[in-house]
Chains A and B, each alone.
Chain A
Amino acid sequence: MSELQGLGAQLSEAEQAGVEIIAISPDPNERGQQLAEGLRLRYRFLADGDLAVARRYGLVHARGGPDGQDVPRPATVVLDRDGIVRWFSVARNFQVRPAPGDVLRVVRSLRDEKG
């Protein structure tokens, strides 16, 4: 639940900025969808059930879940139009998210680049 509020707080403003926001978690799709509708967010929820993508990015917290299962490390990665990583932040404490202002600043500067 707290994860969801963090996402909402952080991204509701960013989504108006002409970017694609992709939320990735091991959750089943239906739950992400319900969440998005509940929050009236337009970003896409993708299901990474076996953490294959989190693993490819080096974002797995081994046995970090409440039942000792592997979970993603909360992270925000900003890509430019060419798919190049321009900024990222990985949580050191899973309660904490990057400051919305930091993410928005990067997103706005990329949006204003030519293209």
Chain B
Amino acid sequence: MTTSTWLAALSALVAIGAASAYVLLLGVAMVRNHPEGYVIGFALATGLAVLAVARARARRWPAWLALGFTSLVLIGGAWFNFVGARVPDTPTTFKVGDPAPDFTLPDASGRPVTLADYRGQKPVVLVFYRGYW
């Protein structure tokens, strides 16, 4: 295998590895909270693919294939992290020190749960999340 082909394979591996590592380690806060990590991985992979193209002599297609793949992944990943996943920073209706707005919502068994019922009982952590589609 030529150096170019070897670099091409390595670049694809780095790109796939960066994506897999992020998904597999989502449960680890350090990884989860630094999604720019996979973008850096993709940039590194693209760099390796550029090197592969620069080194290519006779058989050029593996290097170009790797460059096409890694740059697509880099553009897609960077867009997702820096644009797609952005959440607008609009003000909340409450601030620290305010009483939390009360509400009643059904729980998993359909039973209504009222926030105010916890008053005087114990601290409460409210976690708003997007859901799973």
Residues on A facing B (Cβ under 8 Å): 1-11, 14, 18-27, 29-33, 35-36, 43-48, 52-54, 56-59, 61-62, 64-66, 71-88, 90-97, 99-100, 103, 107, 110-111, 115
Partner of B128 from A35, A72, A82, A96 at Cβ < 8 Å: A72
Judge if B100 is at the interface, Cβ distance under 8 Å: yes
Size range of the interface on B? 35 or more
Q: Which residues from chain B contact A53 at a C-beta distance below 8 Å?
A: 101, 103, 105
Cβ of A48 and Cβ of B125 under 8 Å apart? no
Q: Summarize B's interface: helix, strand, loop or mixed.
A: loop
Cβ of B87 and Cβ of A74 under 8 Å apart? yes
Cβ of B87 and Cβ of A24 under 8 Å apart? no
**Which partner residue on chain B sits nearest A35 by CB separation?**
B132
Tell me which of B8-16, B51-59, B63-71, B89-97 binds A.
B89-97
Judge if B21 is at the interface, Cβ distance under 8 Å: no
